[in-house]
Amino acid sequence: MEQIPADAGVHGGINYYTTLMKKYSTEAGLGHWLNQYTYPVALMEFPFFISAHLYERFAGLPGNGYSDSYKIAISISSLVYTVLGLLILFSLLRKYFNYVYSLLALVLILLATNMFWFTFGQAGMSHIPLFFLYSLLMFLTIRLYEHATIRYFIALGFVAGFITVMRPSDIICLFIPLLYGISGRESFRDRIHFIKQHAVKIFLAVVFFLLPVIPQLLYWKYITGRYFYYSYLDQSFNWTEPKIITGLFSTGNGWLPYAPVMVFAVAGLFILHKTARAWVTPILVILPLYIYIIYSWYCYNYINGFGSRPMIHMYPLLAIPLAAFIQYVAKKGIVVKGLFAAFCIASIWVVYSLACLQGQKKYNSDNANTRFYLQMLFKNKLTYEDMLVADANHFQPDTNRLVKIGTLAYKDFNTPVDGHYERDIADSAGYVYHVKDGEEYFADKIKLTYNEFDFEGVKWLKCSGRFMRPESKDFNPQFFIFVIQDADNNYVYWKPCKIGNKIGLVNNECSHARENDYTLEHTEYNLWGHVYFYIKMPEEIRDGQVISLDIWNTGKQNLYLDDFKIELYK
């Protein structure tokens, strides 16, 4: 994996990423490095991949698996599976709702949830194929109970097995055919009778459920020497402390901030029995159980995405109560309809605008805090102040209204103490401080004791410095940090500011600043630049506590700095 030819037209980022794969993977045995993911996504993408490969071969292109043809093909695969899933779901919804309500529910699922991002912005993950497979499973469930033929048992068993291999925690999809149509004691007795009556067909369904599992077991046997292997290693579930509230509501990749219209799907559960009674029990059992499972995962915010991506698997089920709620609203007055329409339009715009910003590297839902989320709503560009809010979850002041009181502390590093002090190229009489490769912490920080008299009338602190990064080895950032500690060195207050993505922006020191092209991944090397951020005077600070202006070099990379300063403003 680390031997991709450098001259084969492969993007440099691919070579870098493959080296990281080996760095962060574990040798599974027999001399192989294990792919932690199961095979079904690759199989579903294979027709698109091979089409791109044949095109490359016939066109005399490299055919290396990584050029634009393959990227386009995988993007098309997500679009195709989205369309197929929506078409199947539309035919299902039409059994219970009219054309308009069914179509509107699907439009909202596509445009007003994070499904929009994974269809058009980040193709290749499992969630869109699973959306299609869940839609298909629901369709087959209805057909099976309408016409209990062998083909529907076989197809349903195979699809459920394929879903389970693709994402083992989704084995709860089996509750869809098991619970569909059960709404009371009598229907439960009917289901027991149905199972007894079709025992042989159910046995065939079980066989075809297991069939997709076999290739995965053979793969694990070949790679590891064992038929069963937990490929996620130290990644696991914490069943006693699920992060359900955070998973549902956090702006840091939670569900509803990136799928706001789904509040109507949840509301529709309370009226679902009036229109689609057969689906009440499956949804009320599966949805809470699924939420408990996915938010018990150690990485409950599911990084590398846009909102809580596993919830996309539930959208086929949630489409039914969403359509039910739309039908309910349609019978209300003009005011209720207007408010509903306004919320839907706003939801579409929230998803679209944030997705566009994320596609341009101006937003990152993985790490978004509430203030940054609110600040970026309905915007189309990023500012330096926005970047500070993203770092510290701390609004910045209107600098036109600030008046400087004075300078609290200043450190120019011009008095050498040890080998960290090096000559300043721009100032023959001065020095700069060098945080060296391999060092995580910084020894010569600004440090002073707070007393209320010195801060009388102060509303804001401006922390600033000059920095230069000579290189980059990995993605770990370097932070400029304002800290308050008590007498026992416990942290009372801690606010970070990333350094690397702001160098060159303050005084138009780089071309990106001059072009107003700010991104969260902006970076400049071998360029000195100012970085600053404002801190509102913390109300919790007390006399005797220690204020520090510090550096946290998480990637342990070379960093040069100078002119540390804390200024006071009212």
* pLDDT for residue 25: 66
Cα 260 → chain centroid: 16
Least confident of 194-203, 319-328, 471-480: 471-480
Q: Is the dihedral of CA 127, 131, 136, 139 positive or negative?
A: positive
* pLDDT for residue 15: 72
User: Which one, of 222, 233, 192, lies nearest residue 37 by Cα?
Assistant: 233
* pLDDT for residue 474: 63
Using pLDDT thresholds of 50, 70 and 90, give the confidence band for residue 23: low
Residue 426 has pLDDT above 80, yes or no: no
User: Which one, of 500, 505, 540, 539, lies nearest residue 523 by Cα?
Assistant: 500
Residue 27 has pLDDT above 80, yes or no: no
DSSP secondary structure of 269-321:
TTTGGGT-GGGHHHHHHHHHHHHHHHTTBSSTT-SSSSS-GGGGGGHHHHHHH
* pLDDT for residue 33: 76
CA distance 176 to 272: 16
Q: Give the mean pLDDT of 282-287.
A: 96
438 backbone φψ class: left, alpha, beta (φ>0; ψ -120 to 50)? left
- CB-based burial of residue 561 (10 Å sphere; 0-12 exposed, 13-18 middle, 19+ buried)? buried
Q: Residue 437 has what DSSP assignment? A: T
CA distance 319 to 93: 8
Using pLDDT thresholds of 50, 70 and 90, give the confidence band for residue 555: confident
Mean pLDDT of the chain: 92
Q: Give the mean pLDDT of 277-303.
A: 96
Task: Select the more confidently predicted residue: 105 or 221.
Answer: 105
Using pLDDT thresholds of 50, 70 and 90, give the confidence band for residue 322: very high
User: Per-residue pLDDT tens for 174-216?
Assistant: 999 999 999 999 999 999 999 999 999 999 999 999 999 999 9
Class of CATH domain 399-569: mainly beta
Residue 490 has pLDDT above 80, yes or no: yes
Share of the chain above pLDDT 90, in %: 75
Q: Torsion over CA of 54, 59, 65 and 67, rounded to 10 degrees? A: -140
Using pLDDT thresholds of 50, 70 and 90, give the confidence band for residue 8: low
* pLDDT for residue 463: 96
The residue count for the chain: 570
Q: Tokens 């306004």: give the residue.
A: 342
Least confident of 65-79, 403-417, 510-524, 541-555: 510-524
Within 10 A of 35 (CB to CB), how many other CB atoms are there? Answer: 15
* pLDDT for residue 428: 66
Reduced to 3 states, what is the DSSP secondary structure of residue 471?
A: coil
* pLDDT for residue 26: 65
| CA–CA–CA angle 64, 65, 66 (5° rounding) | 95
Backbone angles phi, psi at 325, to 5 degrees: -70, -40
CA distance 512 to 514: 5
User: Which one, of 21, 72, 73, lies nearest residue 46 by Cα?
Assistant: 73
Domain boundaries in the chain? 34-359, 399-569
Residue 2 has pLDDT above 70, yes or no: no
* pLDDT for residue 358: 96
User: What is the 3-state secondary structure of 378-417?
Assistant: CCCCCCHHHHHHHHHCCCCCCHHHCCEEEEEEEECCCCCC
User: Per-residue pLDDT tens for 377-423?
Assistant: 999 899 999 999 999 999 999 999 999 999 999 999 998 889 899 98
User: Per-residue pLDDT tens for 71-113?
Assistant: 999 999 999 999 999 999 999 999 999 999 999 999 999 999 9
Using pLDDT thresholds of 50, 70 and 90, give the confidence band for residue 161: very high
Q: Give the mean pLDDT of 247-261.
A: 96
Whether the CB-CB separation of 368 and 246 falls below 8 Å is answered with: no
Least confident of 4-13, 163-172, 432-441: 4-13
